[in-house]
Amino acid sequence: MQSTKYLIIGGGMTGDAAVKGIREHDADGRIVLVGDEPHPPYKRPPLSKGLWSGGDEAKIWKNTEGADLVLGRRIVSLDVDARRATDDQGEEYAYEKVLLAMGGSPRRLGGNDGDVVYFRTLDDFHRLKGEVGEGTRATVIGGGFIGSEIAAALVGAGAKVTMIFPEPTIGFRLFPRDLGDFVTQYYRDKGIDVQAGGTVSDPGDIDADVVVAGLGILPNVELAEAAGLPVDNGVVVDEHGRVGGRDDVFAAGDVANFPSPVLGKRFRVEHEDHANTHGRVVGANMAGADEPYDHIPLFYSDLFELGYEAVGEVDSRLEAVEDWQEPFKKGTITYVDEDGKPRGFLLWNVWDKVDAARDAIKAGERALA
């Protein structure tokens, strides 16, 4: 049995950030991080962005220091009363405090999907990169965040790409309809066969050399659920990252359902900025910092020559106020509530305005400084 002061379950960006947060307040307490991938923590965004355009893979590593890494292992049981965890090789871990940072797993299609690449990990990137070259017939299932990025990356790698998704436009859940229509046509103009409104009953029937699915993720809550911890679209935490009112169980990152004091509701966020900031704050709180998490996360994407940064609640179901400097090429979209106050900003080819957007959301003002 291993004994540790801090046990981190999950080897992604959140786990790495938590190690840093702990070390800011506790220089000596032992930290054990258990991750199910064979790799140490790394940056996930380059897998669908820069690594396809010649980015240096050596730069993705988080270089986690200050923790003992146990890789290629998955925690399969957690006894929160006994403060014990067991991995899939039967190794037991006794801890004083535990962080649930298990992230999520790709949504799956079902049917004959054995050859589908459910794009999520570094190994998925290596597999897909090795299968794609000039003239490869690739089908991407999904028109959201990952689907749109992977489709663009595959075109850059020389593939002939088809996109299939049930919504009427690319980015349907994020973009106002007119922008979604523009992006969808933009992808068609790039040579992609965009089959909006399409469905896949059996991926094994798709006539393609490679099939990639980018359908979002489901939070890995099974461990928490079996341990009797509160679960509702993720592991439910308070503003300090504590689970179930306990001082020895925490959760952070993709798997955590957290309260936003600024936006006045709960969220579960699956992007890099939240993984890093939430992980660090909650790690610090494990070591006694007592710091509430009030950060407004951002996310960003590159779509061929277009790019954007988004802050706050960016949801196409909200009313959108569009302010274009150049229609669909450069501008700011403000998502507002029924009182006209901003909930989020989509900065479309507009840069260096993230902090101004956060300030505007906090102040309840639409104008960016």
pLDDT value, residue 47: 96
CATH for the 108-213 domain, from 3.40.50.1220, 3.30.70.100, 3.40.1160.10, 3.50.50.60 = 3.50.50.60
**% of the chain beyond a pLDDT of 90:** 96
Tokens at residue 344, please?
A: 């989020």
Whole-number average pLDDT of the chain: 96
Q: Residue 72 in contact with residue 34, Cβ under 8 Å?
A: no
Residue 365 confidence (pLDDT): 87
Closest by CA position to 330, among listed 354, 350, 358, 359: 350
Whether the pLDDT of residue 367 is over 90: the answer is no
Q: Which residues contact residue 297 at a Cβ distance below 8 angstroms, ignoring those fewer than 6 apart?
A: 269, 271, 273, 274, 277, 278, 311
Q: Check whether 204 has a pLDDT greater than 70.
A: yes
- If phi over 0 gives left and psi between -120 and 50 gives alpha, with beta otherwise, what is residue 80? alpha
Inter-helix orientation angle 145-156/177-189, to 10°: 20
DSSP 182-227: HHHHHHHHTT-EEEET---S-GGG--SSEEEE---EEE--HHHHHT
Whole-structure pTM value: 0.96
How many Cα neighbours within 13 Å face the side chain of 317?
A: 2
pLDDT band at 111 (very low <50, low <70, confident <90, very high): confident
Alpha-carbon dihedral of residues 135, 141, 142, 148, nearest 10 degrees?
-10
Spell out a b/e string for 59-74, using b for 16 or more CB atoms within 10 Å of the CB, else e: ebebebeebebbeebb
CA 257 to chain centre: 13
**Which residue has better confidence, 365 or 65?**
65
Sign of CA dihedral 314, 317, 318, 322: positive
CATH topology of domain 305-363: Enolase-like; domain 1 (3.30.390)
Distance CA 87, CA 69 (A): 13
Q: Does the pLDDT value for residue 297 go beyond 70?
A: yes
At the fourth CATH level, the homologous superfamily of domain 2-105+217-286 is: FAD/NAD(P)-binding domain (3.50.50.60)
Q: Which amino acid is at 352?
A: D
pLDDT single digits (tens) 36-89: 999 999 999 999 999 999 999 999 999 999 999 999 999 999 999 999 999 999
CA–CA gap between residue 193 and residue 138 (Å, rounded): 10
Least confident of 17-21, 98-102, 312-316, 363-367: 363-367
Alpha carbons 70 and 50: distance in angstroms, whole number: 28
Domain 2-105+217-286 and domain 305-363 have a common topology = no
Question: pLDDT tens digits, residue range 266-287?
Answer: 999 999 999 999 999 999 999 9
Give the model's pLDDT for residue 257. 98
DSSP alpha helix (H) spans, the chain: 13-23, 122-131, 145-156, 177-189, 222-226, 272-286, 354-363
Q: Is pLDDT at 369 greater than 80 in this prediction?
A: no
The structural domains of the chain, with segments of one domain joined by +, span 2-105+217-286, 108-213, 305-363
